[in-house]
Chain A
Amino acid sequence: MERAIVHNDLKKEKIQPPLLMEKYFKLLKADIKFFFQKDLLFEVLCPVTGEKEVSKKFSKMGMQYNVSLNHANIYLSPRPSIQKLKEFYIQSEARKYWLSEIWPETKDIRKEKIILPQLYWAQGFISQYFQNQEITMAEYYPNHWGYKDIAKEVFHQAKYLLVEPLFDPENSNVLSNSLNIYEKVSKGSLDAVFLFEALDRITDPIELLNKASESLKPGGLCFITSLLSSGFEVQILGENSEIFVPPERMNILSFEGMNELIASVGNFEIIEYSTPGVFDIPNVLDSLNGLENYSFFRYIFNIRQDSEIINSFQDYLQMNRLGTFARLTLRKKVLNSN
């Protein structure tokens, strides 16, 4: 199983401008109150292991996260139904603000530092596994049109579908009839599937991965990006980590939890599993002074202040799959092949 180390000079404030994010979170809190009233939510078991036991619970923006006893998967419970979640994504003021203000403001830097590198990452595998580049690919549950819009610069001959998008196509800045939107796709019809943080935001990740698998042809590829609860940032900051933004972060699986999710679907081979994120250390640094019992990290990050240490520590996290941001490439097994 491959792994990658990625050096990227991406700065968090460039993709999440503090002033804009402040307003976004304010709107989000109000939206959560409006859309996710307690009596409309459902208690769930761990969405991967199905276990009831939790080691911990904590609250964010009025919603509750559980930490599963096995694997330490972190998940929202109670949570909304898929219909209610779609309603939120289409109608909420926070999402409208993100798409109309934050996306245009950060599009260029996101394109250069996040979206294009991820599409090139996928292209390396696609070019290796498919002789014919006239392939059909689909992105499941996207919450914006950015990948689809930029993909045409990378995949010139491919057909790129959006399946059950979590945004209103009429409000996108691209012609909605060019978005290729589908409610579902037929079995065995796709060469590649993209789940860009879709497992994080969807109500039933097992169902989604099964859908992805069913829609792929044998030998088809599934590209996943996701946040992991086993990553350095979450391990150090715990519930103080800023990654816990409901409902977008519905499921934050651990390294082991992700493995179990993939195993539960059964017909995927993991080709690559990497944690190539670059925000673990900056995010921990931002909150380090407020934490007790982390004098070692305060010493190496604050007192030494040696960029070599920080860079090599980030490399160490990536090399050992201990980062919070993960990317995976799965290949649907080809039966009866040698």
Chain B
Amino acid sequence: MNKKYKCAIIGYGYMGEIRHKVIDELEYAEISIICETDPIKINRVHDVKVVADYVEVLESDVDVVFVCTPNHLIPELTMKCLQKGKHVFAEKPPGRTLDDIQSMIDVEKKNPASKLMFGFNHRFHPGMMRAKSIVDSASMGRIIALRGLYGKSGGNNFKKSWRNDINISGGGILLDQGIHMLDLFNYFLGGFNSVKSFLSNFQWNFDVEDNAVVVLKNEDGQVAMLHSSATFWKHMFQLDIILEYGYLKLEGLLSKTGSYGRETLIIGRRQFEDESEAVGNPSEETIYFDKDLSWDLEIKQFFDCIIKNKPVIECNSEDAYNAMKLVELSYQNSDFSTYQKEKI
């Protein structure tokens, strides 16, 4: 492996910085251009060429582009990079609408030499990987149901954040954060054909939802439920996987600040067949994880596809489309979408 891949980052916010750190650790890749216009963010860049116009990235000799911009810019930038023969890693959500991701897929198909991956890094969290491996081993039987809670409390600039401007973000907490959980639902159950939802902006009265409750069911009768919220008043991540012979409970997420709590996986095995004798409190095993390799693993997997010219299997455009489809159906099936359309 002699080639060193030249990379660019468009958008040097929170995610851009994370991607930069990960790439700096790789022997086979380096950041050669960063595209950013905000002087405060530019000040955080050292020893890398900074440009203000993304066209300079398109015209450069970089092999790989990381699109880390707000949602409304992701589709156009991704498509232009693909058309220029660049490999693209784009943050989630994949644009603002299902049409956005469909447009990106259309361009991807016309440029098959370029790899395209999306940043659904939750699949690579250590607790999630262990849970998936336990589910895949079939030792606890088939999944009956999934239950997810994912939410946060607004920060200092919450009211001014672009995430709450529907023209930039395309949606609220469901599109911003809940999409991760919907992607995980798809990851574990492979898709849904029925989606019911309630969305509300009860607390903040923004143009975008601050709470979303989504209930899903697939053709096999497996069900899932998500509460995505910007008003939990604490950062919270929880995914319960209910199986035939027990349950898995993922709580907390390893993160830079640790604000989602310790990442744990609780494994409980069903003990009783006869409900009348059930104590309902089986012995549990709780695994504590202390190293978040999710950012590294997803980027390494992306480069592995580039280097070995393999198709992107995980977090590819199809996964992004499927997650986006659940978001879109959730918006369509709630009266909140009409309210939003009137605001745009």
A contacts, CB < 8 Å to B = 1-9, 117, 120-121, 123-128, 133, 154, 272, 276, 319, 338
Contact = CB atoms under 8 A, between A and B. Distances in A.
A238 B111 CA distance: 70
B137 A5 contact: no
Interface in B113-141: 126, 129-130, 132-134, 136-137, 139
Contacts of A117: 285
A124 B130 contact: yes
B56 interface: no
Interface in B258-317: 267, 283-291, 300
B288 A154 contact: no
Contacts of B287: 2-4, 272
Contacts of A4: 285-288
A7 B139 contact: no
A276 B285 CA distance: 9
A8 B283 contact: yes
Contact of B290 (A2, A126, A133): A2
Nearest to B131: A124
16 contacts: A1-B290, A1-B291, A2-B290, A4-B286, A5-B286, A5-B288, A6-B283, A6-B284, A7-B283, A8-B283, A120-B139, A127-B133, A133-B137, A276-B285, A319-B288, A338-B28
Counting from the closest, the 7 A-B pairs by CB-CB distance are A128-B133, A127-B133, A127-B137, A5-B286, A7-B283, A6-B285, A4-B287
Contacts of A8: 283
B335 interface: no
A10 B288 CA distance: 22
B28 to A, nearest CB: 7
Contacts of B291: 1
B126, B132, B136, B139 pick with most chain A CB within 10 angstroms:
B139
* Residue of A123, A126, A128, A319 most packed against chain B (CB within 10 A): A128
Contact of A128 (B28, B130, B285): B130
B48 interface: no
Contacts of B76: none
Nearest to A121: B285
A123 B139 CA distance: 9
B26 interface: yes
A104 to B, nearest CB: 24
Contacts of B129: 128
Given A2-B290, A127-B134, A154 B139 contact: yes
Nearest to B266: A5
A154 B139 CA distance: 7
Contacts of A2: 126, 287-290
A9 B130 CA distance: 24
Contacts of A319: 288
Most-contacted residue by chain B among A5, A126, A127 (CB, 10 A): A127
B25 to A, nearest CB: 8
B27 interface: yes
Nearest to B137: A127
B283 A338 contact: no
A337 to B, nearest CB: 9
Nearest to A4: B287
Contacts of B27: 338
Contact of A5 (B133, B285, B300): B285
Nearest to B282: A7
Given A1-B291, A338-B27, A7 B284 contact: yes
* Among B126, B283, B300, residue most surrounded by chain A Cβ atoms (within 10 Å): B283
Contacts of B288: 2-5, 319
Nearest to B26: A338
A222 B12 CA distance: 42
Contacts of B284: 6-7
A125 B132 CA distance: 11
A331 to B, nearest CB: 13
Contacts of A276: 285
Contacts of A9: 283
B307 to A, nearest CB: 10
B28 A124 contact: no
Contacts of B134: 123-124, 127
Contacts of A123: 134, 137, 139
